[in-house]
Amino acid sequence: MKVRLLAGIGMFLLAAGMLAIFFLTDGKLPEMLTSEQQPEFEFGIPTATAPEETGPSDVNKFLAEYNANYRRLWTSFEGSNWNASSNITPENTAARIAASKEMAEYVGSRRVIEQLRMIRGRLDLTDLQDRQIEMAWQWAAHYPGTIPATVDKLILTEAVLEDSLYSYEFELTLDGQEPRIVTPNEMDELLLTSRDLKTRQAVWETSKAVGPKLKDGLVETQTLRNAVAREMGYSSFFELEVADYGMTSQEMARLMDDLVAGIMPLYQQLHCWVKYELAARYGVEEVPKRIPAHWLGNRWGQEWPGIVEGVDLDGMFRDVQPQWIIEQAERFYTSMGFDPLPLTFWGRSDLFELPPNSERKKNTHASAWHIDLDQDVRSLMSVKSNFNWFQTTHHELGHIYYYLAYSREDVPPILRTGANRAFHEGIGTLIELACSQVPYMQQVGLISLEETPEEIRWLLTQALQGPVVFLPFACGTMAHWEHDFYEEDLPRHQMNTRWWEHVARYQGLEAPTVRGEEYCDPATKTHIIDDPAQYYDYAISSVILHQLHRYICREILDQDVRSANYFGNRQVGMYLHSILQLGATRDWKVVMRQATGEELSSTALLEYFDPLMAWLQQQNEGREVGF
């Protein structure tokens, strides 16, 4: 059974993790067709119907009770989690404390674990029963009531970590200026626009200043997270999270290496071209072997924006309001036959950036929420008028429409999640790719017909801000560091050293100055703290989305993968809905085969960038490629 935990366990960890801050500091989406009209979809997966429950009555009784309690408790803790994330106050944190405790105490209770142990693995279970039981087992493994003291300590430690991360104030000092407090958005803007290397280095180092404050807590969570996982039979916390895919830690590490190996020839060519471009931009005569991290427009080098001249992505949004971006993202889905978002989405979501003088604080990381596992769906964003938020908004609504599609009676509440965590991310990022296709942006008026970007520069932009640059970070640096951290019990005196070893090996980057163990640079990445040991989800999702995109282009649209337009095509909507409505009721590998006719493979991703590879090889002729 493969569990979808990114919107489930990941949010649960975020909620439960802040459990002690207050004490430590002063309806369903209507079908696009009726059930009588909706046929088996010829392109992909048949409409899902729940297998008939034929198992023993004791199993049925347990699952009915568990699902009822699970949904009730989920609604309580996710609602309080939302309040505490959208308005960080002691009162909202206190309310989250109570809901989180109740949820953890139930899913990890001795009684639930004992019942699961008696049922788990029985040969008379239906597939649907087995999938629910495995989901419940992995929930229990995060907070096993068999070691309550460890669980309590983990909750407290995560609370301090998350509070330190989200409440930290970054103070930037530039030559000739007084120190000032800057937000993450402001640091990102400076890294995107400044051409002064001293300024860039100061901003980059400021962005890492929170790391030392997080190091002690991160070391303690390593021990505690491994303890709860090992209590339930997993080799480490990393393997517990990997269980969503039906894989071991070693199998996941090998898969990550395979994906990196597949993309590396293209990445090395891109890396070579970029370092020559940036060296010229910054007036550096000797081109370095590895790219200094502060040369790039992203704090972790996971994307490289602002490099391609002549493609002003943000310029397309100078006369666009943030509200339009969100409404246009909804129109993208409704044009394919999905229903408009529930009115409650607009009334209950928190969609825009807070003003600089706001007394309210909120989590600034974009997210989608499924409050009641039915129609109460929301998004927490800080939308601004730029290309990144245009993509992000389309992405987050992908999660929202996934929630709504599987919120139906024949999908048990505990299986109302993606086929695996990567599928949820893959659907969102698929729409990111689709919304960045030139024909779509021309159709909605962001690009005029006379301003069609030259193909290579457009592909360069997509590669630099998409999977070609992202996979070495996600498959390489993040996935391998977290594997080592949990599976190898990486000691604190090697944490930062190992991080930069992976950065050098997989990304070909280097810090502007030596980063010793007095720093903790991995902890500055949000996902290490509040969404741990799951970052490979994003990597796998990048592969899945390109396979889905290629299928859609070939079998439905009959369009080139680099200039496709989903907008207004209801067949594409039916195809996507046929996948989304399944939730976690099917094995993800089966879903993948039925949806695309093939196994998981990076071939489609590489094919997408074939013209770029040929161009880069010409540009880099005579240069030493590699790092």
What tens digit of pLDDT does each residue of 219-228 get? 999 999 999 9
- Residue 27 confidence (pLDDT): 35
More confident: 155 or 400: 400
- Residue 625 confidence (pLDDT): 97
Contact (Cβ atoms closer than 8 angstroms) between residue 97 and residue 148:
no
Contact (Cβ atoms closer than 8 angstroms) between residue 336 and residue 569:
yes
- Residue 326 confidence (pLDDT): 98
The mean pLDDT of 285-314, rounded to a whole number, is 92
pLDDT score of 618 more than 60: yes
**C-alpha atoms less than 13 angstroms from C-alpha of 212 in its C-beta half-sphere:** 8
pLDDT score of 437 more than 60: yes
User: How much of the chain exceeds pLDDT 70, in percent?
Assistant: 91
- Residue 448 confidence (pLDDT): 86
d(CA 232, CA 251): 20
Least confident of 392-396, 601-605, 621-625: 601-605
The mean pLDDT of 96-112, rounded to a whole number, is 91
- Residue 372 confidence (pLDDT): 98
pLDDT score of 46 more than 50: no
- Residue 311 confidence (pLDDT): 67
- Residue 180 confidence (pLDDT): 96
**At 265, phi and psi to the nearest 5?**
-55, -45
Does residue 283 come out as left (phi exceeding 0), alpha (psi in the -120 to 50 range) or beta? Answer: left
Contact (Cβ atoms closer than 8 angstroms) between residue 369 and residue 378:
yes
- Residue 90 confidence (pLDDT): 86
SS3 399: helix
The mean pLDDT of 573-589, rounded to a whole number, is 97
Q: Is the dihedral of CA 247, 7, 374, 401 positive or negative?
A: negative
Residues near 211 by Cβ (< 8 Å), separated by ≥ 6?
519, 520, 521, 522, 523, 524
d(CA 227, CA 104): 16
The mean pLDDT of 301-310, rounded to a whole number, is 90
pLDDT score of 13 more than 70: no
pLDDT tens-digit readout, 444-462:
999 888 777 788 998 999 9
The mean pLDDT of 178-187, rounded to a whole number, is 94
Count the Cβ atoms, other than its own, within 10 Å of residue 627.
Answer: 19
pTM of the complete model = 0.84
pLDDT tens-digit readout, 50-98:
434 445 789 999 999 999 999 999 999 999 999 999 998 889 888 887 8
The mean pLDDT of 493-506, rounded to a whole number, is 98
More confident: 315 or 348: 348
Contact (Cβ atoms closer than 8 angstroms) between residue 612 and residue 550:
no
pLDDT tens-digit readout, 240-277:
999 999 899 999 999 999 999 999 999 999 999 999 99
SS3 378: strand
pLDDT band at 10 (very low <50, low <70, confident <90, very high): very low
Please, what's the b/e burial string for 555-578 (b: 16 or more CB within 10 A of its CB; e: otherwise)?
Answer: ebbebebbebbbbebebbbbbbbb
- Residue 185 confidence (pLDDT): 85
pLDDT score of 120 more than 60: yes
| Mean pLDDT value across the chain | 90
- Residue 28 confidence (pLDDT): 34
Helix (H) or strand (E) holding 182: strand 180-182
- Residue 55 confidence (pLDDT): 54
- Residue 406 confidence (pLDDT): 98
